């Protein structure tokens, strides 16, 4: 796989849960500094795909290469791998028994072995950048959903990952809180972060993505630039999906 | 009725029995403290073993399950006779089985997404358990844990069956010496005094949590 120059490369990835095959052979390439958005109905396999890339799910077949390393081999150090891949979930999943600062410094301190002072200084810097430095000593339940999700993003950034996976991170938020979270993702994209984003926010995907992949029933049915996918989709299913989304008023 | 009151509540005998029963009660406290410390640690270890993932850990999980099945099912009195006059060991064996289940319920009550979030940050299984799962689990099980400890405190009295001179034994000695059972009342009072603070503390913790959770819901 040394000839592979993509930063992330999936080939023939299959994943089944008991009887149900959720991913039926996914091929996907993501270059460094690229932002790829995965769109598609709920249950199309977007989340599972993201979870396979940081080995939260084990693939049944196919290969995944991240940063030159074939991570679908059995001898891969998953903890090392996950330190360079940040993931953010729909439900934030902050640790409720820890303050914001403790949430953000946990992985740098325990997984990377960075000293507490250094980790806290870095965490405060990150929190300042998103305007939440004054919340550093609060517990997550004192924050709004938007604030919690921004903290979750910063927590994922604290190990300085090379790749970020965002799994429908605005789906659990009140409409008026979505903007602040998307704004942060936009800044990350501008800063050159490589990202794979599963999202239902079509206008955001159109604006921020270099490439859009439309998933349906565990296959990437169509991929292309935002312009091409949203303006002139080739596949009937893509058209249908986008049509439904437009009717739902999300574009 | 008067006879009854005199037998169990005679003020003179009550006061006279206090030092003797207190003498024995110190042994109960000692047993309780040693057993509780051991139970806290051993039960946590067993609960962790029961939760270990993977096929490799299967035999250890089985052993942990067998342990809780056996010692939760065996009456404490039997265990006391079987471990040859060692009260701390008997209490520890039996109560470890109970408390393991309490810890396990706590660990299972932590949503899997918490462990997943920790692992996704690059923490190892052990680190995720130690820093994310256990702190939340233990916080949740403090009330049932204290409840089991109240049970343990009272059950230290059963040690009397192997002839150790704890509070109840001393109370019995008193009753044979003076033909009056006020000593038993004294022992009962000692046990109650010991458990009431723990019971109130448990109530307090539950109330605090309810208050916090209500604040969250708003």
Distance between CA atoms of residues B118 and B212, nearest Å: 24
Q: Which value, in Å, is the radius of gyration of the alpha carbons in chain B?
A: 22
pLDDT of residue A216: 92
The structural domains of chain B, ordered by start, are 2-217 (1.10.3720.10)
Residues with Cβ within 8 Å of A189's Cβ and at least 6 positions away in sequence, in order, are A35, A195, A208
Answer whether residue A71 shows pLDDT above 50.
Answer: yes
List of chain A residues whose C-beta atoms are within 8 Å of the C-beta of residue B123: 79, 106-107, 110-111
Q: Residue B214: which of A91, A145, A141, A93 has the closest Cα?
A: A141
Tens-digit pLDDT profile for residues B156-210: 888 777 767 777 878 888 778 877 777 788 888 888 888 888 888 888 888 887 7
Q: Give B-chain residues touching A80 at CB under 8 angstroms.
A: 122
Mean pLDDT, chain A, rounded, equals: 92
Q: How far is CA A178 from the centre of its chain?
A: 16
What residues of chain B, 126 to 145, have a C-beta less than 8 Å from chain A? 127, 131-132, 135-136, 139
**Domains (range + CATH), chain A:** 8-247 (3.40.50.300)
DSSP string, A104-150: HHHHHHHTS---HHHHHHHHHHHHHHTT-GGGTTS-GGGS-HHHHHH
Long-range interactions of B195-198: CB distance < 8 A, separation 24+: B195/B150, B195/B153, B195/B154, B198/B146, B198/B149, B198/B150, B198/B153
DSSP string computed for B150-197: HHHHHHGGGGGGGT---HHHHHHHHHHHHS-THHHHHHHHHHHHHHHH
At B18-57, the pLDDT tens digits run 787 888 788 888 888 999 999 999 999 999 999 999 899 9
Judged by a CB distance cut-off of 8 A, whether residue B33 touches chain A is no
Q: Tell if the CB–CB gap between A111 and B121 is shorter than 8 Å.
A: yes
Nearest CB to B114; choose among A93, A107, A155 = A93
CA distances from A169 to A54, A87, A89, A196, B94 (A): 17, 10, 6, 12, 47
Q: Residue A2 — very low, low, confident or very high, per pLDDT cuts 50/70/90?
A: very low
- pLDDT value of position B216: 58
Reported as type and span, the H/E element at residue B60 is: helix B58-73
Q: Do strands A69-70 and A85-88 pair parallel, antiparallel, or not at all (unpaired)?
A: unpaired
Task: Please judge whether B121 and A89 are an interchain contact, meaning their C-beta atoms are less than 8 angstroms apart.
Answer: no
Coil, strand or helix at B138: helix
Element (H, E) at B22: helix B11-51
Nearest to A111 among B116, B123, B135 (CB): B123
Is the pLDDT confidence value at A251 over 70? no
Nearest partner of A28 among A213, A218, A236, A168, judged by Cα = A213
Chain A nearest C-alpha distance from B45 (Å): 22
Find, in chain A, the residue whose alpha carbon is nearest to that of B137: A97
pLDDT of residue A1: 44
Q: Which residue has the tokens 């091929």?
A: A27
Q: What would you report as the CA-atom Rg of chain A, rounded to the nearest whole angstrom? A: 18
What is the ipTM for the molecules in this complex?
0.90
pLDDT at A118 over 60: yes
Banded model confidence at residue B88, pLDDT cuts 50, 70, 90: confident
């Amino acid at each position: 796989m040394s000839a592979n120059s993509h930063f992330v490369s999936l080939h023939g990835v299959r994943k089944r849960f008991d009887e149900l095959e959720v991913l039926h052979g996914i091929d996907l390439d993501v270059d460094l500094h690229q932002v790829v958005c995965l769109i598609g109905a709920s249950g199309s396999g977007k989340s599972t795909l993201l979870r396979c890339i940081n080995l939260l799910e084990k693939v049944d077949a196919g290969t995944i290469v991240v940063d030159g390393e074939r991570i679908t081999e059995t001898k891969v150090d998953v903890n090392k791998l996950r330190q360079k891949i940040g993931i953010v979930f729909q439900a934030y999943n902050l640790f409720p028994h820890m303050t914001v600062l403790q949430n953000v410094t946990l992985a740098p301190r325990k997984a990377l072995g960075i000293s507490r002072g250094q980790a806290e200084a870095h965490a405060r810097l990150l929190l300042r950048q998103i305007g939440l430095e004054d919340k550093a000593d609060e517990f997550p339940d004192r924050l709004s959903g938007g604030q919690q999700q921004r903290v979750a993003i910063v927590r994922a950034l604290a190990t300085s990952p090379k790749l970020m996976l965002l799994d429908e991170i605005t789906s659990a938020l009140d409409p008026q809180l979505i903007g602040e979270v998307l704004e942060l993702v936009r800044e990350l994209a501008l800063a050159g972060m490589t990202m794979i984003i599963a999202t239902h926010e079509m206008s955001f995907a159109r604006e921020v993505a270099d490439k859009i992949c439309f998933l349906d029933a565990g296959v990437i049915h169509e991929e292309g630039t935002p312009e091409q996918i949203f303006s002139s989709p080739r596949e009937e299913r893509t058209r249908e999906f986008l049509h439904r989304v437009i009717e739902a008023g999300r574009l | 009725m008067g006879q009854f009151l005199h037998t169990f509540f005679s003020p003179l005998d009550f006061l006279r029995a206090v030092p003797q029963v207190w003498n024995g009660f110190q042994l109960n406290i000692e047993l309780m403290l040693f057993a509780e410390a051991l139970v806290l640690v051993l039960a946590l270890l067993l609960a962790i073993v029961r939760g270990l993932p993977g096929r490799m850990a299967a035999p250890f999980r089985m052993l942990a399950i067998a342990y809780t099945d056996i010692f939760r099912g065996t009456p404490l009195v039997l265990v006391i006779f079987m471990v040859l006059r060692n009260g701390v060991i008997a209490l520890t064996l039996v109560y470890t089985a109970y408390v393991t289940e309490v810890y396990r319920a706590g660990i299972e009550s932590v949503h899997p997404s918490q462990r997943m979030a920790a692992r996704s940050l690059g923490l190892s299984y052990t680190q995720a358990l130690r820093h994310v799962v256990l702190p939340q689990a233990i916080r949740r099980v403090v009330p049932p844990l204290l409840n089991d400890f109240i049970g343990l405190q009272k059950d230290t009295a059963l040690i009397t069956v192997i002839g150790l001179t704890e509070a109840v034994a001393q109370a019995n000695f008193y009753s044979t010496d003076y033909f009056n059972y006020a000593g038993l009342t004294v022992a009962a009072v000692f046990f109650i005094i010991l458990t009431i603070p723990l019971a109130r503390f448990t109530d307090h913790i539950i109330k605090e949590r309810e208050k916090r959770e209500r604040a969250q819901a708003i």
